[in-house]
Amino acid sequence: MIYRIYNCDFGIIHNGVNYNFDHVDGFLVEDPETTKLTRGSNAGKKRGITYKEGVKEPKKITITLVGITADLFNMLSTIYDSETRIEAFAIDRKTGSSKIAKNAILSSKPQQLTIDENPDSQNVTLNIETFNFTEKQKD
């Protein structure tokens, strides 16, 4: 199932309450965990041994908001300052498929970094980290 951004709703869950983002330009997930194969230098067996890399690194989710209300900004700032755990979600409206980051933190303070006439200057990036990222596919 492929997510199309124009079918998705995005937001966070804070203290059991959902907060939806009105304008989102992107939802990027980086998962450093990989499963690899290795074997002894004697090269005796072709099956190999599996091991994982990147398990100590959190999954990173980057949500690009276009514009942000003052209320949301203040709330996100408080969440960042208090290191409160939140959940961030991307849900396909048509199927209910979802990507949800649970027990997540904001790893950087949300802020508008650029002020100029470029429309991208309205972007505010949310950087989220979590070890508990779930995805549910539905048809």
Q: Enumerate binding residues for other proteins (CB under 8 A).
A: 9, 13, 16-18, 87, 89, 91-98, 100, 102, 134, 136, 138
Structure tokens, 73: 């900004």
* Number of neighbours of residue 12 by Cβ within 10 angstroms: 23
Q: How far is the CB of 39 from other proteins (least distance, A)?
A: 31
**φ and ψ of 70, to 5 deg:** -65, -40
Rounded least distance, CB 20 to other proteins, Å: 9
The smaller minimum CB distance to other proteins, of residues 52 and 136, is found at: 136
Nearest to 85 by CA among 5, 11, 13: 13
75: its two tokens:
């709330």
Question: Is 92 or 129 the residue whose CB approaches other proteins more closely?
Answer: 92
Is the Cβ of residue 117 or residue 139 nearer to other proteins in the bound state? 139
User: How near is the Cβ of 122 to other proteins at its closest, in Å?
Assistant: 25
Q: Where are the alpha helices (DSSP H) in the chain?
A: 70-82
Nearest distance in Å: CB 88, other proteins: 11
Cα distance between residue 128 and residue 88, in whole Å? 8
Closest to other proteins by CB, 81 or 135: 135
